[in-house]
Structure 1
Amino acid sequence: MRITRRNLLKTSAAAGLVGAAGFPAGLSAQEQTKLSMILNWRYQGPQAWFFLAQDKGYFEEYGLEIQMDQGNGSGAAVGAVASGSYDTGFGDVNALIQLAAEKPEEAPICVYQMYNTPPFTVAVLASSEIESAKDLEGKHLGGAANDGALKLWPAFTQVAGLDTSGVEITNFAPNLREQMLKSGQVDGVFGYVNTIRFSAKLSGMNPDEEIRFISFGDYGMDLYSNGIIVPKKLTEENPEAVRGLVRAINKGIADTLADLDAGIAAVVDREPLINAAIEKERLVATLADEMNHPEVAEFGLGNIDPERFQKAIDIVVEARGLPRTPDISEIFTPDFLPPEDERIYKLV
């Protein structure tokens, strides 16, 4: 059955998906492995599972002490882990593909693929003349420098066959995006569909009536996006920490599915000024639109369809003219996924 936002708001069917930890609980502070983690964005509804995992003690249960920070974009999270600034991150696998093609020795690796449907888009005003990708030619576009969709723009222009000679792109702070679009200072803005949709709603816009989305996936860019990434060195030197990290997050997702309000409450604890109702809508939309590829029923959330993943790598490499095609094993490993009886194979 296809997931809808309506039935996700009602569901509690994910309860009990995750079994016993299988790791010793109650480790002392001295035995805890400390990991710093950068998220993709500011604290919003779709970060609920990370915070719920922390509040329920799942990281501690697996011998981990996690320090989480807000991010500056999904692409930036990859760079932050690659540089050693963070031990792990929630970042865009397409940025990882590019880094692995250009600097394989620096590239981290994805150990739990969460967003399996492409969210990348250029949002324009519904009142504008822009109705298709071709209409973006000659327009003034804008976005945050580390935005995942903006980083994929060169690839998108190749796939969609666009002439970019007349396109102007302006970078601005992420919190200015919706206002820049609404005020007409740019013709379109880059981002993830649901990030823009609900941020626009918070700004007083009606995104369903006022915004049109030119989505990359509609033009053949069938890509994955955000996943949990770690340095390859960490997988070699402390594989149990990586395994515990993934299992804790997996349990946090299952608990969020079982109780969406508890997940949102965990976000509110970190960011009391958010609009909890809208963030719940954002969470539901993310689950329905960005994490709900049919492959989940076969491979489980966190895993990939190897054939589809290879095609995604090929799309990014060809469209961006990268110097080499990384092997799947350079980008993703299933070695740290939870046991099969703990994996999530359906979201409702």
Structure 2
Amino acid sequence: MTLRTLTRRLALGLVLGLAGGALAGAPAHADTKLKVVLNWKYQGPQGMFFLAQDRGYFKAEGLDVSFDQGNGSGAAVPLVANGTYDMGFGDINALIELVAKKPVDAPIAVYVMFNQPPFTIAVKADSPIKTPKDLEGKTLGGAANDGALKLFPAFCKLAKIDCTTIKITNMQPNLREQMLMQGQVDGVFGYVNTIRFSAKMIGVGEDKLRYINFGEYGMDLYSNGIIVSSDLVKSKPEAIKGFLRALNKGVIDMLKDPDAAVAAVAKREPLIKVPVERERLDATLKAEMNHPEIAKIGLGNVDPARLKLAIDILVDANNLPTTPKVDQIFTPAFLPPVADLPKSLF
């Protein structure tokens, strides 16, 4: 072997060795990171998200998903719109209002979880307030980003009451039930099951409260769903599909084993009262997620005609500047096949 040949072989070996070392040291393809804001503090009905996370469903889709607690279903929408989060579990009606006012680069809903209207005004059981008309001249309280509070002008119009005579007081969410029971306000805004079980947590029985439910006065609205940013739709559509496939598996697991779902929440927030959160989950399934339409279209999907009616109600009642189209609010493009969506919750 000549010196030149030996030199070439040594050089080639060095190059291959360096290349192999570089490849061995190179990181594997990183998972797509997604930041998600929830609707509220950690509670039983959020168990579907954490089951999907704990059981590796997001990871299997190549996703690295992080969840943050929310501060109201309405608050999730602007946080996704301004890019703080990629996704949110937020109120569809707040999304309709946003799209009506600022349609350019607005988020869009891709999986609607709560298909029955949970919006309510809670009053004490012995209150003289029996009907919406009785609210006139009274003081009502709610968190600034509460979905029911944001819908109150629409409720006033449909229920034919004079909103201008009603005083609205903003309060911290954790003080809502206490302020109601102490008589500091005459009624409070919220989701029925949020109020019911938050009251239970402070020792207030169900017999101590009554509810004026928006759905009983013509507001057959959708509520919370997965909302994604316009940037994510454009840049990572496959990540959205993967997220929904994983989440849908989490929903199915939650329906099969509600105790496991609540346990997954308790891992994140050990201070929750597990029996109460299990009751809250059961009540949410029955009252907020169990619209008869899911037997045909599946949980996560929407009825376009019903959503159009909801859009029209909000635009008219709130004098919104434009009327969004259904496909500006919701798209089924990222959903798993309808055959894979839950058709029954019980």
Aligned to 1:284: 282
Note the 1:253-268 alignment, pairs <5 A: 253-268=251-266
Instruction: Give the secondary structure class of the aligned counterpart of 1:68.
Output: strand
Q: 1:165 Cα shift?
A: 2.3
Aligned to 2:17: none
Question: In terms of Rg, which structure is larger?
Answer: 2
Compare relative contact order (CA 8 Å, sep 6+) and give the higher one, 1 or 2: 1
Instruction: Give the secondary structure class of the aligned counterpart of 2:301.
Output: coil
Q: Distance in 2 between matches of 1:132 and 1:224?
A: 23
Q: Distance in 1 between matches of 2:296 and 2:328?
A: 23
TM-score normalized by the length of structure 2: 0.91
Q: Distance in 1 between matches of 2:49 and 2:130?
A: 37
Aligned to 1:135: 134
Q: Distance in 2 between matches of 1:36 and 1:166?
A: 41
Where does structure 2 lack aligned partners over 5 or more consecutive residues? 1-26
Give yes or no for the alignment of 1:31 onto 2:25: no
TM-score normalized by the length of structure 1: 0.91
Q: Deviations over 1:134-189 (max 9, x none)?
A: 11111000000000000001111111111122211100110000001010100000
Instruction: Give the secondary structure class of the aligned counterpart of 1:165.
Output: helix
Instruction: Give the secondary structure class of the aligned counterpart of 1:31.
Output: coil
Aligned to 2:3: none
Aligned to 1:339: 337
Instruction: Give the secondary structure class of the aligned counterpart of 2:271.
Output: coil
Q: Distance in 2 between matches of 1:106 and 1:280?
A: 38
Give yes or no for the alignment of 1:171 onto 2:136: no
Contact 2:44-2:278 within 8 A present in 1 as well: yes
Aligned to 2:21: none
Q: Deviations over 1:264-296 (max 9, x none)?
A: 110110010110000000000000000000000
Q: 1:342 Cα shift?
A: 1.5
Determine which structure has the larger helix proportion and give its number. 2
Q: Distance in 2 between matches of 1:327 and 1:164?
A: 28
Aligned to 1:239: 237
Contact 1:102-1:322 within 8 A present in 2 as well: yes
Contact 2:297-2:338 within 8 A present in 1 as well: no
Q: Number of matched residues?
A: 320
Q: Distance in 1 between matches of 2:105 and 2:317?
A: 22
Where does structure 1 lack aligned partners over 5 or more consecutive residues? 1-27
Aligned to 1:194: 193
Q: 1:233 Cα shift?
A: 2.1
Q: 1:106 Cα shift?
A: 3.8
Kindly provide the amino acid, as one letter, of the partner of residue 159 in structure 2.
Answer: A
Q: Which runs of structure 1 show a deviation greater than 4 angstroms over 4 or more consecutive aligned residues?
A: none
Q: Deviations over 1:98-150 (max 9, x none)?
A: 00000001420000011000000000001110011111111000000000000
Q: Distance in 1 between matches of 2:252 and 2:258?
A: 10
CA shift in 2, pair 1:29/1:120, >3 Å: farther
Instruction: Give the secondary structure class of the aligned counterpart of 2:225.
Output: strand
1:317 to 315, 318, 339: 315
Aligned to 2:210: 212
Q: 1:340 Cα shift?
A: 2.7
Note the 1:3-14 alignment, pairs <5 A: none
Q: 1:214 Cα shift?
A: 0.4
Kindly provide the amino acid, as one letter, of the partner of residue 39 in structure 1.
Answer: L
Q: Distance in 2 between matches of 1:347 and 1:304?
A: 16
Aligned to 2:53: 54
Q: Distance in 2 between matches of 1:333 and 1:269?
A: 33
Q: Distance in 2 between matches of 1:343 and 1:217?
A: 25
Q: Distance in 2 between matches of 1:214 and 1:288?
A: 18
Instruction: Give the secondary structure class of the aligned counterpart of 1:146.
Output: coil
Q: Distance in 1 between matches of 2:301 and 2:164?
A: 39
Q: 1:30 Cα shift?
A: 3.6
Instruction: Give the secondary structure class of the aligned counterpart of 2:165.
Output: coil
Q: Distance in 2 between matches of 1:249 and 1:217?
A: 28
Note the 1:288-299 alignment, pairs <5 A: 288-299=286-297
Contact 2:115-2:288 within 8 A present in 1 as well: yes
Q: Deviations over 1:182-240 (max 9, x none)?
A: 10100000000000000000110002x11010000000000000000001221121111
Kindly provide the amino acid, as one letter, of the partner of residue 217 in structure 1.
Answer: G
Contact 1:99-1:106 within 8 A present in 2 as well: no
Aligned to 1:105: 104
Cα RMSD (Å) of the superposition? 0.9
Instruction: Give the secondary structure class of the aligned counterpart of 1:162.
Output: coil
Contact 2:120-2:214 within 8 A present in 1 as well: yes
Q: Percent identity?
A: 62
Kindly provide the amino acid, as one letter, of the partner of residue 128 in structure 2.
Answer: E
Instruction: Give the secondary structure class of the aligned counterpart of 1:250.
Output: helix
Q: Distance in 1 between matches of 2:46 and 2:208?
A: 26
Kindly provide the amino acid, as one letter, of the partner of residue 203 in structure 1.
Answer: I
Aligned to 1:91: 90
